[in-house]
């Protein structure tokens, strides 16, 4: 523990060792405490252990407390990590999470193949074109498609929604599976119960209430001395154009960016069991918005997992099994069907928004999401949030950052005229943009519940990888000669490739770092903060999760640059920005470059689009210059930038967000009613 507090953790191997030591130490302390508490429960006077009058007055248990203590410690010691071989072996299984060709291990002088990126792009373009082409073109077709997908009639007011969508040239008419999925659990309760729960949860700290009454909207915060937050105000604004067409209803809006509703698996599977009615005893007066040392997100999350999942195996789920080599631990760190070239020449077809932490509980240590300080709620309540991770039961709505004009998140914002411009004043022609990968941000990404894991959070991991100045090798695979099918793999020092292609840094320290601020500054690069407009000088814009989703994503899409996105969150537009092949479940993004949670493929992504770094060319003895090999890749990269911008201008508009919210309101209004059949749309 002392070494962990004083030394910087700079390599993945050290990270693994430190993480395991820290967690086992904490588990040892935890189980010792539990053992002592267990023994104390047998002491005289404990009503919970009134087995017999003799025992209560110091009989068998009293005389054998020492033996019982040793027994409890022995069990705790075994469960805390001595016998982890089975779990460790299980977590080393390789799960498919990306597509990549099989290439030889290590440096190779010439092998023939077709690079996978052009195929991925072609598949994405074809699937997205097909997705747009199959959208309903008439109201009757939309009603028919709705019935086919969901097995019931659309909600009342569907014709008015259709009219709104057509008048505003909304492209996505049928793609609302995520919305229906979010609302599905509430079909298991009556309208009366839904209304009661909405009012009850509105009394909780960190929840605002947006109310529709007599065609008008208001915001209330039922917590004393608390003003309504920006998220509720943004949601209210989204209702403005159609509020007069809505019946009276209440929307509890989450004031935090993180998801809040984590319902135990048993309550979701069997919603009518007795415990589900326990919400009547859930007292907002005793509810605290933060954990206050009385639990953590992971303990709540794993209860939402299926009973047979590894996460529900209590002791196994508590073990630290962070891999010494992230590539060896399954699809969260190794996004490919086979382990190839150190995992660096493989390309994620999608981000980790659907990654199954229930099956891979070890992966929680890599995401600050599971260390949030904000308390989750273990009951099914209608809470509207801007994003949620897999397993949460929040109802997704567009972020107020996307909908409103916030200078630090909005492309084209004119601070002088306080208005939006089609082209940002800081935008640069493509040819003048830098080829470096650019990122600036704070050290956000998670809380400190429990403390001591900040160095493993997603932003911190990326920063250390991308600013590594050691001789650790990165394997770069590139065509030589350019545009041929002859590929070369070379190992180059991280310091050389990072210096050439990376411009990433923290700009602000937020929260607690295990070894202190000095170690944080020593382990990570810090630089000055920049305005959003400064980002447009770069072709590659890295987009990483913060405390929750990234509020900059829409701004990045609107620019003439290319977002490179890594996320574990699902947002309202998840059905809209990706075509999905239902046959194999693989989704491929056309409008941005997805990254796996290891980030390792980023070097070969850059090498394909912008040419191999000089160090790789030098190591291979290639006579090609870097930019001579990047012309075709650069054209393809610009196509992604244009596709992302086109998506933002046609599908990611504020009016598209309004169309989404309008349709959500109709679905919610039907659930809100006592007679739901009367709220069906009759065509």
Residue-by-residue DSSP string for 419-470: EE-SS-TT---GGGSEEEEEEEEES-S---SSSS-GGGSHHHHHHHHHT--S
Residues 28 and 112 in one domain: no
Q: Answer whether residue 339 is part of any domain.
A: no
Both tokens assigned to 413: 């914002």
Domain match, 573 and 529 both: yes
Task: Tell whether 113 and 8 lie within a shared domain.
Answer: no
CA geometry: angle 253, 259, 264, nearest 5 deg = 110
Q: What is the mean pLDDT of each run of 10 residues along the chain (683 residues)?
A: 33 38 44 43 38 42 52 46 35 33 46 79 89 96 98 98 98 97 96 95 92 97 83 97 98 94 90 55 70 87 94 63 36 32 48 76 88 90 95 96 89 86 94 97 88 90 95 89 82 95 96 88 95 97 93 96 94 77 43 90 93 89 64 92 96 98 99 98 91
Number of H helices, E strands in the chain: 24, 19
- In a domain, residue 298? The reply is no
Question: How are the residues of the chain apportioned to helix, strand and coil, as percentages rounded to the nearest 5?
Answer: 45, 15, 40
Give the gyration radius of the chain's Cα atoms: 27
* Residue reference for tokens 């980030």: 599
- Both 443 and 532 in one domain: the answer is yes
The interaxial angle of helices 654-672 and 230-238, nearest 10 deg, is 90
Residues 23 and 112 in one domain: no
Reading phi first (left if > 0) and then psi (alpha if -120 to 50, else beta), residue 170 is in: beta
pTM, two decimals, is 0.81
Phi, psi of 440, rounded to the nearest 5 degrees: -135, 140
- Residue 660 in domain: no
Asked, for residue 51, whether it belongs to a domain, the answer is yes
Q: Which domain holds residue 12?
A: 2-83
Same domain? 15 vs 119: no
- Cα dihedral 559, 560, 563, 569, rounded to 10, equals 30
Within-domain flag for 635: yes
Statement to judge: residues 547 and 434 lie in one domain: yes
Q: Is the domain of 116 the same as that of 55?
A: no
Flag whether 495 is in a domain. Answer: yes
pLDDT of residue 295: 86
Report how far residue 66's alpha carbon sits from residue 35's, in angstroms, rounded to the nearest whole number. 11
Within a domain: 476: yes
Question: Which residue, 284, 287, 270, is CA-closest to 198?
Answer: 284
Rounded CA-CA distance 73/75 in Å is: 5
Q: What is the DSSP string of 259-284?
A: --B---HHHHHSTTSGGGGGGGG--G
Pairing of the two strands 562-566 and 538-544: parallel
Which two structure tokens, joined as six digits, stand for 22?
A: 């820290």
303-332: burial string, b at 16+ Cβ within 10 Å, e else:
bbbeeebbbbbebbbbbbbbbeebbebbbb
Give the DSSP per-residue string, 196-223: HHHHHHTTSTTEEEEEEETTEEEEE--S
Q: What is the pLDDT of residue 345?
A: 55
Q: Based on the structure, what is the number of domains in the chain?
A: 2
- Within 13 Å, how many C-alpha atoms sit on residue 643's CB side? 22
Burial 647-660 (b: 16+ CB within 10 A, else e): bbeebbbbebbbbb
CA dist 397 → 231, 233, 563, 572, 665 (Å)? 10, 13, 22, 6, 11
Q: Which two tokens stand for residue 433?
A: 């943009």
Asked if 116 and 62 sit in the same domain, the reply is no
| Cis, bond preceding 491 (omega within 30 deg of 0) | no
Residue 196 placed within a domain: no
**Same domain, residue pair 484 and 577:** yes
Distance in angstroms (rounded) separating the CA atoms of residues 595 and 27 = 33
| Alpha-carbon gap, residue 393 to 338, rounded angstroms | 34
In a shared domain, residues 436 and 526: yes
Q: Are residues 41 and 118 in the same domain?
A: no
């Amino acid at each position: 523990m002392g070494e962990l507090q004083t030394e910087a953790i700079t390599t993945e191997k050290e990270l693994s060792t430190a993480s395991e030591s820290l967690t086992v130490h904490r588990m040892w302390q935890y189980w010792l405490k539990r053992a002592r508490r267990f023994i104390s429960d047998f002491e005289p006077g404990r009503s919970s252990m009134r087995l017999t009058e003799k025992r209560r007055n110091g009989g068998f248990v009293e005389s054998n407390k020492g033996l019982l203590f040793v027994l409890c410690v022995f069990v705790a010691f075994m469960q805390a990590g001595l016998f982890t071989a089975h779990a460790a072996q299980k977590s080393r299984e390789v799960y498919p999470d990306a597509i990549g060709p099989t290439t030889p291990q290590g440096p190779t002088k010439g092998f023939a193949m077709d690079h996978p990126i052009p195929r991925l792009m072609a598949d994405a373009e074809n699937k997205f074109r097909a997705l747009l082409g199959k959208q309903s073109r008439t109201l009757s077709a939309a009603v028919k498609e709705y019935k086919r997908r969901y097995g019931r009639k659309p909600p009342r007011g569907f014709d008015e929604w259709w009219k709104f969508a057509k008048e505003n040239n909304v492209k996505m008419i049928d793609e609302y599976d995520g919305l229906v999925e979010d609302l599905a659990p509430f079909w298991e309760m009556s309208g009366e119960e839904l209304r009661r729960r909405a009012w009850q949860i509105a009394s909780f700290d960190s929840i605002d209430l947006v109310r529709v009454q007599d065609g008008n909207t208001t915001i209330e915060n039922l917590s004393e001395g608390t003003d309504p937050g920006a998220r509720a105000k943004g949601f209210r604004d989204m209702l403005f154009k159609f509020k007069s067409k809505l019946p009276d209803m209440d929307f509890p809006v989450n004031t935090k960016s993180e998801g809040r509703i984590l319902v135990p698996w048993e309550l979701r599977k069997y919603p009518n069991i007795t415990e589900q009615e326990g919400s009547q005893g859930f007292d907002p007066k005793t509810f605290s918005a933060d954990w206050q040392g009385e639990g953590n997100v992971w303990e709540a999350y794993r209860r939402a997992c299926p009973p047979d999942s590894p996460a529900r195996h209590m002791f196994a789920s508590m073990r630290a099994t962070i891999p010494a080599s992230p590539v060896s631990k399954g699809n969260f760190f190794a996004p490919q069907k086979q382990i190839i070239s150190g995992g660096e020449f493989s390309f994620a077809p999608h981000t980790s928004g659907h990654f199954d932490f229930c099956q891979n509980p070890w992966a929680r240590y890599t995401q600050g999401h599971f260390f949030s300080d904000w308390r989750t709620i273990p009951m099914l309540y209608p809470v509207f949030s801007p994003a949620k991770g897999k397993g949460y039961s929040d109802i997704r709505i567009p972020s107020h950052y996307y909908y409103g004009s916030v200078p630090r998140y909005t492309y084209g914002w004119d601070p002088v005229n306080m208005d939006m411009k089609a082209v940002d004043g800081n935008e640069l022609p493509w040819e003048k943009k830098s080829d470096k990968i650019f990122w600036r941000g704070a050290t956000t990404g998670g809380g400190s519940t429990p403390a001591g894991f900040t160095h493993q959070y997603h932003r911190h991991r990326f920063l250390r990888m991308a600013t590594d100045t050691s001789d650790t090798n990165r394997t770069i695979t590139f065509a030589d000669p350019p545009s041929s099918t002859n590929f070369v793999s070379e190992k180059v020092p991280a310091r050389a490739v990072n210096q050439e292609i990376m411009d990433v840094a923290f700009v602000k320290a937020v929260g607690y770092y295990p070894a202190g601020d000095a170690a944080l500054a020593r382990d990570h690069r810090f630089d000055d903060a920049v305005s959003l407009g400064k980002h447009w000088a770069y072709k590659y814009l890295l987009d990483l999760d913060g405390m929750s989703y990234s509020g900059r994503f829409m701004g990045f899409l609107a620019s003439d640059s290319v977002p490179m996105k890594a996320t574990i969150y699902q947002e309202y537009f998840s059905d809209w920005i990706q075509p999905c092949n239902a046959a194999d479940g693989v989704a491929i993004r056309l409008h941005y470059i997805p990254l796996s949670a290891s980030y390792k493929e980023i070097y070969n992504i850059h090498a394909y689009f912008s040419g191999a770094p000089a160090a790789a060319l030098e190591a291979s003895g290639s006579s090609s210059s870097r930019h001579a090999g990047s012309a075709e890749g650069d054209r393809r990269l610009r196509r992604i930038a244009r596709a992302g911008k086109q998506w933002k201008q046609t599908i990611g508009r504020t009016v598209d967000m309004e169309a989404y919210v309008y349709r959500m309101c109709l679905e919610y209004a039907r659930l809100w009613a006592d007679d739901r059949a009367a709220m069906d749309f009759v065509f």
